[in-house]
Amino acid sequence: MNALVLTPQQAYKNETRRREWVWSSFAGIKNVFNLSPKWRGNVQVLYSLYNPDKRSPYANRLNLRFGFERVILKKGRMSF
């Protein structure tokens, strides 16, 4: 991901943050549930497996994500 990274030593006051490519890897579980016939929700629990230089924008190794989505069915199609 392309994220803001803090520089370890400041050469100048305006050179404290910059954008860099940061490599990381997550593994975890996801649960999808129905809130109503037209709304779905999901919850993800992720663990950071790979962060070699400690430059990831995620401060903790364990992350929790959640989201909502509206289900839109097209007319004339069946969904399974």
pLDDT band at residue 10, thresholds of 50, 70 and 90?
A: low
48, 22 in Cβ contact below 8 A?
no
Strands (E) across 1-80 are located at 2-6, 17-21, 25-36, 39-50, 62-70
What ranges do the domains of the chain cover?
25-73
Q: Edge-to-edge, what's the strand order for the sheet holding 62-70?
A: 25-36, 39-50, 62-70
Residue 3 pLDDT: 86
- How much of the chain, in percent, has pLDDT values that exceed 70? 80
